[in-house]
Amino acid sequence: MPDPQKLLRRLDELQQRHRPLAFGYAVIRKYGQDSASTWALLIAYYGFASLFPLLLVAMTLTGLIFAHDPSLSHQISNTVFAQIPIIGAQLRSQAGVHALATHSLPGLIIGILGLIWGSQGVASAAQQAMATVWNVPMTDRPGYLSRTLRNFGVLGVLGVNVVVTSSIATFTATLGGHDVGKILLIITTISLNLALYVVGFRFLAPKSIPTRDILPGALVAGIAWSALQQVGGYLVGHELAHASATYGVFGLVLGLITWLALTATATLYAAEINVVHVRKLWPRSLLQPPLTTADRVALIALTKQQRYRPEQLIYVTFSTAATPEDPVEDAKRDRCDR
């Protein structure tokens, strides 16, 4: 019977020798060590909480602004809902539009308050997640006021993206069902998504990081977001059609939360790509000891991230032995103060 540890050692040697494998494993390893999945779920939660107030406000304002042209109002509503895979088609139905387009001042106020709460949660969680990905020490993270101002910047970028994408979708809809209009919409949407992530990563990443260092992950995230939009449309058309009839709203809501979580997960993985690339955090070892240089650098940054006070000093040491309790081997350990 083969020894599992020897098999893992061989796999470790294989992935460390091949750069694509080593880089991919390093990204996955850092994502796990940063507990980024927790932040992804939190972003998805706040995204779900802000989605319905956003629709309420958007539909109400659209109805008020374009009250003189119901057909244009309906067309704009369709393009807004089209930005939301999984439930957009269902909310676009007559009942959904009627429920969201109630022109009442209390409903509008409630929608705006809900939108502010949820959207601030999304932006704040995204900022904290990005700081965690870059292992920014607690002492160097922005305060409440600065963080709130940056939140509005992130929300402004998202808002501009939705408005521009919806406007382009409305324009291409006037071209009818021609292939030229569809191709133009796809190309423009992907380009806007790429620009959205470049600007968004610039807002969220530490200021000391040059813009060129955030480009690889931003491009990956933009492509992933565009793909998830298409996948969401496919699921609605082919996989969730029967689930909607069977499970009703529950199936749609579950699908939406899953889609939001996948989007947040893909975004944070893309951010991890930037960090691994900039800091050369590969190859990482599958089994320890020994620790690779990348292992040590990553662990040092992860530990020093917990620095809460300027007068707090954190030193990281590594033992050369598998059991650091051994006094003989303890004397051989090296101090790594980076």
**Pairing mode, strands 334-336 and 316-318:** antiparallel
| Predicted pLDDT of residue 335 | 44
Q: Is the pLDDT of residue 185 over 70?
A: yes
Q: How far apart are CA 33 and CA 27, in angstroms?
A: 10
**Residue 98 is assigned to a structural domain of this protein:** yes
Average of per-residue pLDDT values in the chain: 78
246, part of any domain:
yes
Report the domain count for the chain. 1
pLDDT of residue 229: 76
Residue 317 within a domain: no
pLDDT band at 331, cuts 50/70/90?
Answer: very low
| Residue 311 covered by a domain | no
The pLDDT of residue 246 is 53
Q: What is the pLDDT of residues 114-145, one digit of tens each?
A: 778 888 888 899 999 999 999 999 999 888 88
- The C-alpha atoms of residue 9 and residue 5 are separated, in whole angstroms, by 6
Domain assignment present for residue 12? The answer is no
Report d(CA 79, CA 34) in Å as an integer: 37
Q: Long-range contacts for 72-77 (Cβ within 8 Å, ≥24 apart)?
A: 75/170, 75/173, 76/166, 76/170, 77/101
- Host domain of residue 76: 21-279
Cα separation of 37 and 228, whole Å? 18
Residue 291 forms part of a structural domain: no
pLDDT of residue 66: 63
Instruction: Identify whether 60 is part of a domain.
Output: yes
The pTM (predicted TM-score) of the whole model is 0.81
- Percent of the chain at pLDDT above 70? 67
Q: What is the pLDDT of residues 244-287, one digit of tens each?
A: 555 556 666 777 788 888 889 999 999 999 999 999 999 999 98
pLDDT at position 53, please? 75
Please check whether residue 318 lies inside any domain of the structure.
no
What pLDDT shows up at residue 94?
A: 42
